[in-house]
């Protein structure tokens, strides 16, 4: 006879059902939220906007109803202002329901985030020790707090509006309640609007990428694509990527350098995201992967092709300068152009429009057969640091990663653009510097490649524009404005009521 209350079942098996239910529940709620509430139809913004309009209408006709309403009022049994107040109350109830649903979806996402952290910890993948975890966890908790405040202010607004049905809107108390209801609704919007800047979810594997901001990054990229991918991945995805990297490294073809293979895989996936057909992609991957490795790439439960496309698209949006830089090199290779300077490949790029910080990427590769010591100097009066100098020892590459004849994008072997580009990224030196703007407007950055003696090898000057993020500025302005108007409205309502009380006492 089996004891049904036995605790012999392992802990992780007991938690499997609620965990699956949690993810399934979020998938349902997130689908509704994405289509109707927070995104898509955006009821969470439309409903309060309509309620504000009806509130103004109720205040405008609080003393007298329009003439055409005289024929309708006997049937409805309320003045035009009270009818608009009732409509506002119904809209506010809808807004509260939307806030409840949206907050519940956010709560489910945070709970799933915490569950994933616990699971990874049990698998001895400590997520908390990774850079960026504390900032991401603080962002999620802050979003939960703001949604709670937004919901609380929305409920308070509906209660204040409901009080008008007791005092009537034509009275001073009714108008004060309408003002207080309008003000608390604005406070609710002021709490909600900032959360729209960095949305997140756990239904998608890449659902945390937009919410995650890399706190640090390497200044010199050893494995360029791998470093870029790991830098922009959120801590959960990065932990899974480390496991994936070890699995895929065991499936490399013999006599293939692991660094070259990993860079070529990511480079090929990137080219696939830009239009490289599936068969050509498979042919390129099969040059560095065994059959087991090909199957792992195609059928991996986490890093599917769709996930890779999302990850690479996110990285390209975050660092467009890097992809423009390698795009120019690929064009030179495909056209058979000579390198920039005899014996050295030098390319540099930076965003055309800079917002919070500028990402400056530089690729240097020694094509000669002897080591060279060079100095990379970055100077700008408009960015910090104003003068930056780094000394690099450029060893010869494993082979001459350049060609004087035109090459196809992909072909058998490494004599194609993908093969040479992968070799350049592996043997070359890629520097990634973050420059902080000191002012808005036009800015200039000078990049020089010098000998240790100070002689100039090659130099570039980059002109950029420093701007604030337009949409982010609108959101911040809207949040601050609605909050200030809400506070002023509450203060004005209290002032009017106090003056009314003292006026009655004096009379």
We report the CATH number of the domain holding residue 444 as 2.60.40.10
234 alpha-carbon distance from chain centroid: 10
Q: Is residue 382 assigned to a domain?
A: yes
pLDDT recorded at residue 339 = 64
Number of domains in the chain: 2
Residue showing tokens 């035109």? 406
In degrees rounded to 5, what are phi and psi of residue 59? -70, -40
User: Which residues in the chain show pLDDT less than 50?
Assistant: 1-17
pLDDT recorded at residue 17 = 42
Q: Is residue 136 assigned to a domain?
A: yes
CB 423 within 8 A of CB 356: no
pLDDT recorded at residue 457 = 87
Residues 352 and 445 in one domain: yes
Whole-angstrom Cα distance, residue 24 to residue 44?
A: 23
Q: Is residue 16 assigned to a domain?
A: yes
CB 239 within 8 A of CB 303: no
pLDDT recorded at residue 153 = 97
Residues 340 and 457 in one domain: yes
For residues 257, 258, 262 and 263, what is the CA-based torsion angle, rounded to 10 degrees? Answer: -40
Residues 497 and 426 in one domain: no
Whole-angstrom Cα distance, residue 182 to residue 178?
A: 6
Residues 73 and 195 in one domain: yes
Q: What is the CA radius of gyration of the chain?
A: 30
Q: Is residue 103 assigned to a domain?
A: yes
Residues 181 and 113 in one domain: yes
Q: Is residue 246 assigned to a domain?
A: no
Whole-angstrom Cα distance, residue 25 to residue 38?
A: 17
Q: Is residue 224 assigned to a domain?
A: no
Give the mean pLDDT of the chain: 88
Residues 449 and 499 in one domain: no
Query: Is-cis flag, bond preceding 385, omega within 30?
Result: yes
CA-wise closest residue to 499 among 491, 185, 162: 491
Q: Is residue 219 assigned to a domain?
A: no
Residues 491 and 353 in one domain: no
Q: Is residue 38 assigned to a domain?
A: yes
pLDDT recorded at residue 316 = 93
Residues 330 and 449 in one domain: yes
In degrees rounded to 5, what are phi and psi of residue 312? -65, -35
Residues 325 and 380 in one domain: yes
Residues 88 and 172 in one domain: yes
pLDDT recorded at residue 33 = 93
Convert the pLDDT of each residue in 307-341 to its tens digit.
Answer: 999 999 999 999 999 999 988 888 888 877 766 56
Residues 347 and 485 in one domain: no
pLDDT recorded at residue 16 = 45
pLDDT recorded at residue 14 = 39
SS3 203: coil
Residue showing tokens 């120019």? 328
Q: The domain containing residue 98 runs over which residues?
A: 11-203+475-506
Residues 462 and 379 in one domain: yes
């Amino acid at each position: 006879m089996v004891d049904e209350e036995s605790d012999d079942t392992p802990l992780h098996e007991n938690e499997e059902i609620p965990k699956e239910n949690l993810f399934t529940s979020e998938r349902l709620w997130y689908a509704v939220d994405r289509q109707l509430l927070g995104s898509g139809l955006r009821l969470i913004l439309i409903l309060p906007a309509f309620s504000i309009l009806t509130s103004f209408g109720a205040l405008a006709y609080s003393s007298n109803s329009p003439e055409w309403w005289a024929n309708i009022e006997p049937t409805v049994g309320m003045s035009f202002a009270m009818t608009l107040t009732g409509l506002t109350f119904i809209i506010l109830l809808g807004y509260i329901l939307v806030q409840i649903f949206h907050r519940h979806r956010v709560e489910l996402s945070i709970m799933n985030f915490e569950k994933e952290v616990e699971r990874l910890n049990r698998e001895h993948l400590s997520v908390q020790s990774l850079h960026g975890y504390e900032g991401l966890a603080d962002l999620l908790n802050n979003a939960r707090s703001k949604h709670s405040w937004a919901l609380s202010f929305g409920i308070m607004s509906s209660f204040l509006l409901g009080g008008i049905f007791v005092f009537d809107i034509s009275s001073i108390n009714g108008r004060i309640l309408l003002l207080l209801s309008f003000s608390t609704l604005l406070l609710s919007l002021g709490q909600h609007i900032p959360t729209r800047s960095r949305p997140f979810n756990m239904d998608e594997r890449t659902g945390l990428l937009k919410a995650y901001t890399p706190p640090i990054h390497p200044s010199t990229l050893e494995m360029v694509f791998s470093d870029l991918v790991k830098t922009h991945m959120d801590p959960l995805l990065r932990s899974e990527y480390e496991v994936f990297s070890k699995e895929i490294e065991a499936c490399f073809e013999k006599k293939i350098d692991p660094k070259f293979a990993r860079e070529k895989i990511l480079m090929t996936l990137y080219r696939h995201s830009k239009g490289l057909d599936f068969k050509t992609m498979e042919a390129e991957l099969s040059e560095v992967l065994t059959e087991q490795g090909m199957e792992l790439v195609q059928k991996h439960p986490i890093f599917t092709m769709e996930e890779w496309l999302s990850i690479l698209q996110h990285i390209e949006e975050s660092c467009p300068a890097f992809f423009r830089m390698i795009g120019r090199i690929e064009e030179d290779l495909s056209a058979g152009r000579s390198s920039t300077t005899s014996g050295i490949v030098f390319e540099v790029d930076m965003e055309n429009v800079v917002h919070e910080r500028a990402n400056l990427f530089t690729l240097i590769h020694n094509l000669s057969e002897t080591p060279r010591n060079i100095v990379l100097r970055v100077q700008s009066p408009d960015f910090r640091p104003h003068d930056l100098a780094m000394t690099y020892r450029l060893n010869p590459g494993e082979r001459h990663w350049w060609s004087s004849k035109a090459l196809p994008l992909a072909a058998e072997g490494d004599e194609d653009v993908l093969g040479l580009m992968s070799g350049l990224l592996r043997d070359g030196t890629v520097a990634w510097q973050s420059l902080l703007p000191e002012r808005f407007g036009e800015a200039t950055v000078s990049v020089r490649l010098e000998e240790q003696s100070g002689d100039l090898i090659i130099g570039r000057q980059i002109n950029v524009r420093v701007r604030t993020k337009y949409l982010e500025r609108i959101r911040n302005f809207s949040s601050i404005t609605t909050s200030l108007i809400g506070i002023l409205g509450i203060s004005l309502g209290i002032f009017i009521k106090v003056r009314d009380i003292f006026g009655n006492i004096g009379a």
